[in-house]
Each structure stands twice: as C-alpha cells, then as structure tokens.
Amino acid sequence: MTQEPDRPGQSGSVGASSATANEAGGPPPGPSMRSGQTSPATRSAIGAIETSVAPSLIELDHLAKRYGPITALAELDAKIDGKIIGLLGPNGAGKSTLLKCLLGLIPHDGRASVLGLSSATRGAEIRDRVGYMPEQEAFLAGMSAVELCTYAGELSGLPRTEAMQRAHSALYYAGLEEKRYQAIDGYSTGMKQRVKLAQALVHDPEILFLDEPTNGLDPRSRDDMLELVAELPERRGCAIVLSTHLLPTSSGCATTR
C-alpha cells in the first residue's frame, strides 16, 4: 500500500498562524482553539499534502476486455504497488492482454492507469516510462543486439548517440556484452530472452512489464534470468510486473502477488 508522507506537526502550524495574526494586528485565536484542534490553515496544508501523495503504480477500475463473445478480462478492480509484482495465472488467463491494455496498445472497457496516467488516453506517455518485454519474439531480421536496443531507445525518443550508449549499458547488464554485435537470428533462446530484457531497459523505465521472461529456458538459464530480475529494483531503480504461469517463477522473486 502507498504510505502517506509525514504531515507537518499541528502545533507548529497553529503557532505560525498565530504569529501571522499577531504581526498583522489581528486578534489571537479564540478560546475555542483547544489542544488537538487544527486551524483552517493547517487543515488546508494537510489537504494539499494528501492530494499530492503519489498514485499507485497501477490502478484498475472495472477493467474489461472482450473479443466478440469471449471475455478476456472481466471487470477487474485493483490498486497495485510494490517492487516486484507477480502476475500469476495459467496460459490463456488474460495476463498478456492485461499488460497490453495497461500500455495503451489495445482498447478496453472500464478504466486503467499506470503511474497516474490513463491507458485509454495517454498510452504513449505510459510507454515512455514503462519498459516492455513481450512474450513472443519481436526481432527484425539481420539486426544485431546493439542495433535492436539502439533502435528501441530511439523509438522512446532518445537521441541516437545516447540511445547507443544506453544500449551498450543494457546489454552489459543482461550479460551479452561479448555477443552484442552478432545477429540475433543466431542467438540461443536464452540469449534472445536477454536481448528482450535489454531492449526493455534501454530507456531507463520506471516500471518493467516482463511477460513470461523465463519462457523456453532450461533450469540454469531460468535461474540466471530470475537473478537478473530480482536485482533490477536496487540496481536500476525500477519496479517490475512479472507475468508468468509458473508458480516457482513468481514465488522466486516476487514480493507482491
């Protein structure tokens, strides 16, 4: 749950209000201002603080998605916060559909917001602040890892030079520094998963949506990927939504499920 920041002490606010009134020649607070009560100025200050509290990472209000007679998402309501959030469900449960709705990639009924931004009207702004690692391969034939990650950075609005610098940094984090100039077509499944992670990181997002990041990996590669994911909040300063149909994957690193 989002924690409310500390409020200023009531006594200090009342004292400041009294001093202002005395300097202006006005009357001191009336006898009804007893200990424990707050002045109108203090209540206004508290109200301003409460309204400035950051929104939840993700908020859903009757979110629904239907494909003709098929209901993919049925009236979802939630407020979600955390560092590593596990989105657990069987194949076909609608996890990928939910992520695409949140990114503003597909239309939906109801309301959804990410970082306080409406997915229905501000999808481009959300995608500027969220990294997305899709479940399926999304590579351009013949591209190297550096070229792909640089291209992803440019799509996010980064100048080419900065995008290339960040591409090298993201690939280094993903453990592909020695293979970054090779064509992705010849990569193993584990290496392709790492490239997808790197391209999601290249624009330094506030949240990462990882859709089945361990899909197709052998046990050792799976453990390596989960270790990378678990370190992301501290090393890269971002929250993570990890979508998976495997309970061990979610329980291995998720702090919120």
Provide the number of structural domains found in the chain: 2
- Residues 180, 207 share a domain: yes
- Residues 64, 41 share a domain: no
Q: Is 194 inside a domain boundary? A: yes
Query: Once rounded to an integer, what is the mean pLDDT over residues 239-250?
Result: 83
Q: Is 4 inside a domain boundary? A: no
15-60, pLDDT tens digit by residue? 443 334 344 444 444 444 444 455 555 555 544 444 456 788 999 9
pLDDT value at position 257? Answer: 53
DSSP conformation letters of 149-184: HHHHHHHTT--HHHHHHHHHHHHHHTT-TTTTTSBG
Per-residue CA distances from 152 to 81, 102, 131, 172, 190 (Å): 27, 19, 10, 16, 20
* Domain with 165 in it: 58-253
50-96, pLDDT tens digit by residue? 445 678 899 999 999 999 999 999 999 999 999 999 998 998 899 99
The model's pTM is 0.75
- Residues 31, 74 share a domain: no
- Residues 218, 135 share a domain: yes
